[in-house]
Amino acid sequence: MINSKIPAAKFLGVYFDQKLNFKTHIEKIKSKMSKSLFALRQVKNILSDSALLSLYFSTIHCHLVYGIQIWGSACQSLLTELYKKQKQAIRLISKAKYNSHTEPLFKKLQILPLPDMIKFFNLQFMHSFKFNLLPSSFVHSWACPEPSIHDVRNKDDIVVPRSRLHQTAKLPLSEFPRLWNQFGHDEIKLLNNKFSFNKALKKHFLSLLNHTPVCNRVNCPNC
């Protein structure tokens, strides 16, 4: 029985709360990112571009990627708060204005925005599952449908476990295979080398970013 007085339990660096909404864990990440953003503001006019980029990866990016396959299933409002802080960091290390459009900056720096980062690591996990690169404890996590001579288009799909609740449908057991099935780039999915897959997948997500901002702001000062 879970102790109602304990807001969250920490396991391998990830905070699990009673409702599995990962609010506590995301608050911890936000706190660490706020401290790092303060440091970036202090040194952005002193350090070189490469040094600022290294500082971003060592103080912000590392917290975003750790356990992202787990807490990435949090509700959109919580993830948006993290994404906003990531965009602040990207503006700082790019020495851009505080309200600059970040999509071209992400593309220039070859860094994935948080929403794409979550998809990247989830697809990476499923690729490892398909090619038996995960520990043996994950072997029977999902089932693959029997191949059919009448439907070759979905031969690489994975059976998505049914979920009665919307919240549990966003957890890895259901969300990961759903994302894999919906990702229609077979030329990437069929790469059996993990390094080649990761490289091609990141290149794909970066290709979706625009070099120039696509803006819907009224009287935008940057457009």
Q: How far apart are CA 209 and CA 190, in angstroms?
A: 24
Asked whether residue 88 falls in the same domain as residue 174, the answer is no
Q: What is the pLDDT of residue 1?
A: 41
Q: What mean pLDDT is predicted for residues 28-40? A: 96
Average pLDDT in the chain: 88
Q: Residue 110 falls within a domain, yes or no? A: no
Could you read off the pLDDT of 98-136 as tens digits, one per residue? 989 999 999 999 999 999 999 999 999 999 999 999 999
pLDDT band at 217 (very low <50, low <70, confident <90, very high): low
Q: Tokens 């290390």 label which residue?
A: 93
pTM of the model: 0.88
Could you read off the pLDDT of 183-207 as tens digits, one per residue? 989 999 999 999 999 999 999 999 9
Q: How far apart are CA 223 and CA 203, in angstroms?
A: 27
| Domains contained in the chain, number | 2
Asked whether residue 93 falls in the same domain as residue 131, the answer is no
Q: Residue 220 falls within a domain, yes or no? A: no
Asked whether residue 138 falls in the same domain as residue 184, the answer is yes
Q: Residue 108 falls within a domain, yes or no? A: no
Q: Which domain holds residue 25?
A: 8-103
